[in-house]
Structure 1
C-alpha cells in the first residue's frame, strides 16, 4: 500500500471481485458527487427558504462563526483508471495521507516572454541569463495564495500547527487522515490493486474538488488521482542484458527510457574503426564524419555537460576502458564525475553523471529537479509522493538511502541530457505543466535540457494507442497517437533518431530511423504550440498535409516535436566486456548533447556565455540552413503510417541533424 497508518500495511477482506466492484464504485461515486455538489451550491438558498417558513435568521456568510461559502469546482479529473488497476475497497478513514498542495506560482504567464528575452537571437538581451536567486524571487507564490490556502485548511479543521510551508513558498504540507482529505477535497479514496503483481495504492476515483475561491491559488494536490507508482521491484526503465527490449510496467505507468538495446548478437572482439563500415556500426569516427564534428576542447575548466541516470540503471566502469582502449587510448582510466542524488551509486572531468535514487526506493524527474534547483523542493522528503521517491528510505534494505531528500545540492551543468520519458496520458496536466515550467526556469539560467523523443513512432512506449475517449488500448480500433512527456514540453529540446541506409557512405543523406526503433514524434495533447515554432510547423502542415487526421492526433495547434535528430542506430557499445549494437533516441540524445557542448566550449573560450535554451534559435530563419535536412522515412504506429519526413521541419526528425561547423559559426556570431 502506498499510504498506511503507522507505516504498516493494513488488509481488509475484498468486498467483491475487482472488475465488478470497479463498476459499482464508479456508478456510486458519480451519483454521490452530483448530490454533494448540488447540496454545496444550494446551502444558502435552502437556509433562506427555511428562514421564510420558520421566521428564523440565517447566519451571515461573512460572520465570524461561518466561513464564506464558495461553490466547489473540479480541480483535476481523470476519465479512466490506468490499465491494470482496479478498486478493491474503500480506504480506511484513519489512514494518514501526506497531503501536499502545489500553490500557483507568480508570473508564470510571462515565462515564455522572459525566456525569449534571453534566448531569441534577435533579442538585445540574448545570453543575459538569470541568477537562481532572481528565478526563485520572480516565480514565488503570492502572499495572498499562501494565506488563502492556509486559512481554508484551518477552516476545514486542520490545526495551523500541522501546516508547513516549503522554503520556496511553493508548497503547503499537512499530514491528514483519509476522512479529513475526503472532506477537504469532496472526494472518496479507495485502495486500488494492480492485477499484475498485487501492488496496492490509495487514490481518488475520478476527480477532486476545491472551493472556487481557493482553486485559483492551487496548481495540484497530492495524493489524489495519480497512479504513476513503481510496481513491485520494477525499476524506472531498467536496461538489462543485451536483447532486453523494455519491461512492461502497467501500460506506461513508469518513466521508461526509449529502447536502447536492439539486436542482441555480439560483434567481433576488436571491431573495425573505418568510415567504410559506418552503415553497419556507428563509431566516434562515424559521428565526426556525419556531422562535420571536428573540435578540440579549450575551455574544459569552465564548460560542463551532464547525463541523468536513474538507479538501478548504472554504468560499468570497466566498459569505459574497453571502449577507450579501442577508440581513444588516451582516455583509458577516465570516468565521469558522479553527483549522487538521494543515494545514487555506481558499481565501483568534465562529464557529470547525475545518478539519481537509491537501489530500492529509486527516483523520478522531480527528485532530480529538487537537487539542481532548491527553489523547486517541497517541505521534506520529495515533491509528489505518488510520482516521486520519498526519502529517507525506511525499507530497511541494504543500500537504502536514509538521508533526507536533497534540495539544491547539485549545481546544474550547462547541458543536461536525459533519455527517460512517460506517456502523456499517464500523468495529470497539472503535474506536467508544473514540471515543464521548471525546465523553462533552467533555460532562464542558461541550461540546455535535451530529452529523447521516444522509440515507438507515434505510439506509446508499450506500443499502445488511445481510443476515441482518450483511454489507452491495445485494440486495433485504438488509432489515436500517444505523445511523450517531457519531450512534449516546449521548454526542452526533443531529440529524434536517424540512421544510415544499408550500403550508404557517410556522405549520403540519412533517413528517419526505422531499424530496431522508430523515431518518436507528433503533437502534444497538453501543451500549446509556442510562438517560436508556429510558422515552421504551419508551413509543414500546409505544404505537406499529413495523411492522418484529427481522429489520430491533436490538430488544435499544440506543441510539436522533435526539434532535432541525430543517428540512433547501431552504436557500437561495450557491454560487460563485449561489443553490441545499440539503438534508440537514448543514444541520439547524449550524442547531440556532446556536439552542443563543444559549441558551449568555443563560446566560453571566446568570453561568451553558454547557449542555454536553444529552441528559439534553431527554429529561426538564420539557423535553419545549419542542419542536415532529413527528407525520407516516417514514424508509423497505431495502425497508421504516422507522419512523414519532408524538406524542412517535420514531426519525425525535427529540423534535421546537427551540422557542427555551420552551427558553431552561427553561434559564435551571437553575443
Structure 2
C-alpha cells in the first residue's frame, strides 16, 4: 500500500552564506536524528516553573531523573508507529536519549531521499569552504505528523556565525607577569575584580557535590598548563587547581601549546579562577557526525539528561542566528533545557557578539536574534564594560540583545517589558527584506542611534516576544592562552563574561546549600 506523505519542514533557499553544489552522492552516509513528540509538554513546563518560582510550594524541590522522563517520554503509540514505519523501510533505529524521544538512523543519501521525499544536496560555506549535506524540504507519512517533531540534520545548516573572540595584545612595555589587581581596571578584568564587583567570596567552596560544566566546540581546547600559569598570576591561593574532561562525538583535549584555544582557555580560566574550589568539567564535543554545532548542543543535553547527577550549572559560549534554525529544532532544544532546568541544572548561554543587529552579514539591516538566547527556559547572559575603576558599568556595544521571533514573552518578563512598551515607536513600512532562510518579509524603519535610518523586518517588532539577555556582567578579560610565551592577551568578546557569571551562580548554589534553603 502506498504511503501518503506530507511536507513536514521546508525552506525556500539555503542561507546566504552557502553555495549549492548539486545533488549529494547517492552513497554518502547520513546520520539522521528523529525527534518524537513528548507525551506531556505542558506538564514539563508547569513543573519547571513550580520548582523555579520563589513563593511556589514546590520551589527548590527539583524533579528526579525518573520524574522528568515520565513526563517527556513519547507515548507507546508514537514510538510503535514510528519504529514500524522505519522497520518496514528496512531501517534500524537506535534510541539516543534516555526516554527514547530521539531515534538515530544511518542511511545513504539515496535511501534518505526516498524515505523522506527529500533532495539532499552538497552546500559549501562561502567563507570557510566547509561542505555540508542538506535538503530544502522533507516529508513524513501523514499518519505520523503528530508523532514526529522533526528530523535533523535536514533543513537547518551549520551556523554561519564566527565563534572566535577578538584578541588584542596589551599596549605598553611587556612584562613577564602581571600582578593580581586589588581593584578593577577599565582595560582588564581579573578574578579579583569580578569577585569585588559582585560580592563573590574568594574562600574555597565546601560543597564537594557542586559541579560546573563548560561546553567546548569547534576544536577549542583548554590547556592545563595555561590554567596553572593563569592561577599562579591571578589566584595563587588556588595553585594546583585542575579541571575534569568529558568527551562526546569524538571530542578531545590535546595539551600541546599550539592547540590551546582562546575561547576554551578563557572559559576554563575564569570559571576555575572565580568559582573558588568548585569542581569544573570541560565537555569537548567533536565533529564525528555531519550534524553541525547544534548536533553538539543536542548531544550535550542528552548526555546530561542521562546522568543521575548532572552539574548544577552548564555554560556554553557559542550561539547561532535564530533564523538559521528551524522552529521545530529550536523548540525541541529549548524543551530539552527545560528538562535539565526541572532537575536543577541552570543553563547559561552567551547572548552573542553582534550587538543588536546580531552576527550576520551587513547586506541586510534586519535585526537577527541569537539562539538559544530566545529560549525562556535558560539564562541568556550579556556584557557590560567598566566606565571607571570604582565600579561604574555601562552596556557593552557588541553584546547582543533584543527579542526572539520564535518564543513568546514568559510570564516572569511581563512586568518588566510592560514598562518599556510605551517608548516603542514604529515608522513606515518598506517591503522586500530577505531573511537568511530565504524568506521575504515586510520591513519597517526607525531612527538609528546615529540619527540615520535602520530598516527592521516586521517580525522583529512584535510586542509579545521573549526579551534577552536575562542578565549582564563584566567583559574584557586578560587571557594567558597563547603558548609558549604566556603573554597576556586582552579578549574582547561578549561571550567572555559567561565564566564569571557561571562562577557567581556556583557560589550562590553553594551559599544556598550551606544555609539549608530548600
TM range (shorter): 0.7 to 0.9
Q: Tell me what 2:340 maps to.
A: 442
Q: Tell me what 1:110 maps to.
A: 43
1:202-601 map, 5 Å: 202-204=133-135, 206-228=136-158, 252-253=159-160, 256-257=162-163, 259-262=165-168, 265=171, 268-274=175-181, 278-294=185-201, 296-310=203-217, 312-341=219-248, 342-347=250-255, 350-358=278-286, 364=293, 366-367=295-296, 370=299, 373-374=302-303, 408=306, 411-461=309-359, 463-464=360-361, 474-475=362-363, 478-501=364-387, 504-507=388-391, 509-514=392-397, 518-543=398-423, 551=458, 553-569=460-476, 571-575=477-481, 576=483, 577-601=486-510
1:262–1:545: structure 2 CA closer, same or farther, 3 Å change rule? farther
Deviations 1:510-539 (A, max 9, x none): 11113xxx1110111212221221221122
C-alpha RMSD of the superposition: 3.0
**Can you give the 5+ residue segments of structure 2 that lack an aligned partner in the other structure?**
257-276, 427-445, 448-455
Q: Is the 8 A contact 2:211 2:281 kept in 1?
A: no
1:538–1:110: structure 2 CA closer, same or farther, 3 Å change rule? farther
Q: Is the 8 A contact 2:405 2:459 kept in 1?
A: no
Q: Which has the higher contact order (CA 8 A, sep 6+)?
A: 2
Which residue of 124, 143, 148 maps to 2:81?
A: 148
SS across alignment from 2:415:
helix
Q: Is the 8 A contact 1:366 1:435 kept in 2?
A: no
Deviations 1:155-209 (A, max 9, x none): xx513x73445563213444445444334333333333445565443322x3222
SS across alignment from 1:527:
strand
1:265–1:94: structure 2 CA closer, same or farther, 3 Å change rule? same
SS across alignment from 2:188:
coil
Tell me which structure has the larger Cα radius of gyration. Answer: 1
Q: Tell me what 1:125 maps to.
A: 58
Q: Is the 8 A contact 1:339 1:355 kept in 2?
A: yes
Q: Is the 8 A contact 2:356 2:400 kept in 1?
A: yes
Give the total of aligned pairs.
Answer: 464
Q: Is the 8 A contact 2:31 2:106 kept in 1?
A: yes
Relative to total residues, which structure has the larger strand share, 1 or 2?
2
Q: Tell me what 1:469 maps to.
A: none
1:184–1:366: structure 2 CA closer, same or farther, 3 Å change rule? closer
**Can you give the 5+ residue segments of structure 1 that lack an aligned partner in the other structure?**
1-65, 229-251, 377-407, 465-473, 609-670
Distance 1:360 1:153 in 2: 24
SS across alignment from 1:261:
strand
SS across alignment from 2:252:
coil
1:202–1:375: structure 2 CA closer, same or farther, 3 Å change rule? same
Shift, 1:322, TM fit: 2.6
SS across alignment from 2:356:
coil
1:564–1:262: structure 2 CA closer, same or farther, 3 Å change rule? farther
Shift, 1:561, TM fit: 0.2
Which residue of 90, 100, 103 maps to 1:169?
A: 100
1:650-661 map, 5 Å: none
SS across alignment from 2:347:
strand
Distance 1:273 1:444 in 2: 39
Distance 1:339 1:414 in 2: 16
Shift, 1:442, TM fit: 0.8
1:27-106 map, 5 Å: 66=1, 70=4, 72-93=5-26, 95-106=28-39
Q: TM-score, normalised by structure 2?
A: 0.80
Q: TM-score, normalised by structure 1?
A: 0.63
SS across alignment from 1:82:
coil
Shift, 1:558, TM fit: 1.4
1:194–1:564: structure 2 CA closer, same or farther, 3 Å change rule? closer
Shift, 1:365, TM fit: 5.1
Q: Tell me what 2:433 maps to.
A: none
Q: Is the 8 A contact 1:269 1:579 kept in 2?
A: no
Shift, 1:139, TM fit: 0.5
